[in-house]
Amino acid sequence: MRKTDIKAELDKLALMYNQSGFIHNDPICIPHRFSKPQDIEISGFFAALLAWGTRTGIINSASKLMALMDNSPHDFIINHQETDRKNFEYWVHRTFQYADMLYFLEWLQYHYQQNNSLESAFNKGLSPNDEHVGNALIHFHHYFFSLPHLSRTHKHLQTPERKSACKRLNLFLRWMVRKDTAGVDFGLWNSIKPSQLICPLDVHVHRTATQLKLISRKQADWQAAIELTDQLKKWNAEDPVMYDFALFGWGIQQSGKQVIK
């Protein structure tokens, strides 16, 4: 299949999946329940970090988590007492367990009591001239783990320094940064440019991109995510991650499986 034909098909799929009907069956439906920017950030952060497993399971876990925060995540994060964290003891999503949640709640409270947005946790590591958000992700990882914590919690937050594709963090950044008129992504943040985003990559997108000959790297790692995004930039330099919708849609059409990217 020629690259021009692939682009035409992906352009069509991007339009098909980048629309409001996509929201209710996708984890992005969690932050779409809120209007306050900080609520969108916090709920979106958790929904993206939980994005492995079935889409239904992800949405159910994130919904239960928001209920434990009284469906007012920013107010809860800012004002909760340490004893309130006990309510999360029986919440679990796969390997994300109580011990991990305790640290996430502690760090989020630490950050939001000093900052108005999660944006600053990322953009302080990014230069306007940076080609992509790699440095922002590295900075965020160091900042996030700057408080005393258990080593087991590291596995829930990826970093390019360990060659991870950082799929879930790149998905979160897509939601917060990318701007268009379709109403799926939020475009809340302005200090990171859509052109600096990296396409979320896991084994499913990696398989699709390999089949389409968009990437040659065999591992679904950070370098493969860069390779894929560089190809997508040839088709849309200002908004390469719009093709995340298309690659997801292509995978669904080929497999019929309702599994998150």
pLDDT at 40: 98
Q: Could you read off the pLDDT of 122-136 as tens digits, one per residue?
A: 999 999 899 999 999
What's the rounded Cα separation, in Å, for the pair 214 and 250? 13
Which residues on neighbouring strands pair with residue 93, listed in sequence order? Answer: 96
pLDDT at 248: 85
Q: For the ranges 30-34, 84-88, 152-156, which has the lowest average pLDDT?
A: 152-156
What's the rounded Cα separation, in Å, for the pair 86 and 66? 15
Q: Could you read off the pLDDT of 163-216 as tens digits, one per residue?
A: 999 999 999 999 999 998 999 999 999 999 999 999 999 998 999 999 999 999
pLDDT at 52: 87
pLDDT at 44: 98
Ordered by start, the domain boundaries in the chain are 3-255
Which residues on neighbouring strands pair with residue 54, listed in sequence order? Answer: 259
In this structure, which amino acid lies at residue 4?
Answer: T
Q: Could you read off the pLDDT of 88-97 as tens digits, one per residue?
A: 999 999 999 9
Do residues 101 and 109 make contact, with C-beta atoms less than 8 angstroms apart?
Answer: no
Q: Could you read off the pLDDT of 149-162 as tens digits, one per residue?
A: 989 999 999 999 99
Do residues 151 and 114 make contact, with C-beta atoms less than 8 angstroms apart?
Answer: no
Tokens of 182: 């379709």
Closest CA to 174 of 244, 249, 226: 244
If you average pLDDT over residues 16-38, what whole number do you get?
A: 95
pLDDT at 257: 47
pLDDT at 255: 63
Q: Which range in 15-19, 49-53, 138-142 is most confidently predicted, on average pLDDT?
A: 138-142
Give the single-character DSSP code of 221: S
Task: Name the one residue in this structure whose structure tokens are 């970090």.
Answer: 49
In this structure, which amino acid lies at residue 129?
Answer: N
Q: Could you read off the pLDDT of 34-73 as tens digits, one per residue?
A: 999 999 999 999 999 999 888 999 999 999 999 999 999 9
Cβ neighbours for 106, distance < 8 A, ≥ 6 positions apart: 85, 147
Q: What is the pTM of this model?
A: 0.95
Do residues 122 and 192 make contact, with C-beta atoms less than 8 angstroms apart?
Answer: yes
pLDDT at 251: 75
Tokens of 243: 């093709």
Closest CA to 89 of 97, 80, 78, 81: 97
Question: Does the pLDDT value for residue 3 go beyond 60?
Answer: yes
Q: Could you read off the pLDDT of 227-259 as tens digits, one per residue?
A: 999 999 999 999 999 999 999 888 777 764 443
Question: For 212-239, b where at least 16 C-beta lie within 10 A, e where not — what string?
Answer: bebbebeebbbebbbbbbbbbbebbeeb
Query: Other CB atoms closer than 10 Å to residue 21's CB: what's the count?
Result: 9
